[in-house]
């Protein structure tokens, strides 16, 4: 009888511990990456990064996704964490990014890798002037020859 009671207590303890562990893990992933909160522009940039990483794999195979990522055109209107970011310089870099994206999606197979790397470099150029934090991650998106 005593063994059964200890077994039930152990089972309850393990279930409680496991539930708290899952709750803790879920909450940790819900935290924004930016301590000031996630702005519309920050979320868009993360989506652009994830998409570019996926495109990298396709370009390496000589392919591109079928559909142009229209959502990325919101780079001009997305609200940043810090409103002072939206300068004429930022707008010029954003326009350059959009132009590079269009160029990539109209690439011939022989131009894919060059145009892809050019797009990634456009991101690096902007981030060198506006927000240098992600440059290390962006550089990893390049396809090395």
Q: Model confidence over 7-20: pLDDT tens digits? A: 444 444 434 443 43
pLDDT digits (tens, 9 = 90+) for 82-112: 889 899 999 999 999 999 999 999 999 999 9
The reply to whether 120 falls in a domain is yes
Interatomic CA distance for residues 143 and 99, integer angstroms? 20
Domain residues for the domain of 134 are: 40-139
Residue 119: Cβ within 10 Å count: 24
Specify whether 107 is located in the same domain as 45: yes
Which pLDDT score is estimated for 66?
86
Number of domains forming the structure of the chain: 2
Specify whether 3 is located in the same domain as 26: yes
The reply to whether 17 falls in a domain is yes
Residues 106/68, Cβ–Cβ less than 8 Å? no
Q: What is the pTM of this model?
A: 0.74
Specify whether 3 is located in the same domain as 45: no
Confidence of residue 3 (pLDDT cuts 50, 70, 90): low
pLDDT digits (tens, 9 = 90+) for 73-90: 999 999 998 889 899 999
Specify whether 57 is located in the same domain as 25: no
Which pLDDT score is estimated for 82?
87
What value does the mean pLDDT of the chain take?
A: 82
Specify whether 55 is located in the same domain as 123: yes
Specify whether 21 is located in the same domain as 69: no
The reply to whether 144 falls in a domain is no
């Amino acid at each position: 009888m005593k063994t059964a009671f200890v077994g039930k207590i152990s089972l309850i303890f393990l279930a409680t511990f496991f539930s708290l562990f899952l709750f803790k893990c879920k909450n940790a992933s819900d935290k924004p990456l930016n301590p000031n909160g996630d702005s519309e522009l920050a979320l868009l940039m993360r989506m652009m990064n994830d998409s570019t990483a996926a495109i990298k794999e396709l370009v390496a195979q000589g392919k591109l996704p079928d559909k142009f990522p229209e959502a990325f055109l919101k780079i001009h209107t997305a609200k940043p964490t810090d409103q002072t970011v939206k300068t004429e310089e930022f707008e010029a870099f954003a326009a350059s990014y959009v132009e590079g994206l269009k160029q990539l999606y109209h690439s011939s197979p022989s131009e894919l890798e060059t145009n892809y790397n050019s797009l990634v470099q456009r991101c690096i150029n902007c981030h060198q002037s506006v927000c240098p934090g992600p440059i290390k991650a962006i550089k990893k998106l390049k396809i090395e020859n």
